[in-house]
Structure 1
Amino acid sequence: MLENLSADYARTARAKGVAEDDVLWRHVFRNSLLPLITVSAGLLPGLLAGSLIVENIFSINGMGQLAVEAVKGRDRELVLSITWVSGFLTLVGYLIADFCYTLADPRVTYD
Structure 2
Amino acid sequence: MVRSCMIDALGKEFVVTARAKGVAEWRIVMTHALPNAFLPIITLFGLGFGHTLGGSVVIESIFNWPGLGRLMVESVLTRDLPIIQASIFFFAMIFITLNLIVDILYTWFDPRISL
Give the TM-score of the pair, scaled to structure 2.
Answer: 0.87
* Structure with the larger RCO, 1 or 2 (CA within 8 Å, 6+ apart): 1
Residue ranges of structure 1 left out of the alignment (5+ in a row)? none
Structure 2 counterpart of 1:57: 62
1:82 to 72, 80, 87: 87
Structure 2 counterpart of 1:46: 51
CA RMSD of aligned residues (A): 1.3
**Counterparts of 1:34 and 1:94, CA distance in 2:** 13
Structure 1 counterpart of 2:113: 108
Q: How does 1:24-35 map to 2 (within 5 A)?
A: 24-35=29-40
Structure 2 counterpart of 1:11: 16
Structure 1 counterpart of 2:73: 68
Residue ranges of structure 2 left out of the alignment (5+ in a row)? 1-5
**Counterparts of 1:56 and 1:109, CA distance in 2:** 41
What amino acid does structure 2 have at the position aligned with 1:103? W
**Counterparts of 1:36 and 1:68, CA distance in 2:** 32
What amino acid does structure 2 have at the position aligned with 1:35? P
Structure 2 counterpart of 1:97: 102
**Counterparts of 2:53 and 2:79, CA distance in 1:** 20
**Counterparts of 1:45 and 1:28, CA distance in 2:** 27
Q: What number of residue pairs does the alignment pair up?
A: 110
Divergent runs of 4+, >6 A: none
**Counterparts of 1:12 and 1:60, CA distance in 2:** 55
**Partners of 1:102 and 1:109 within 8 A in 2:** yes
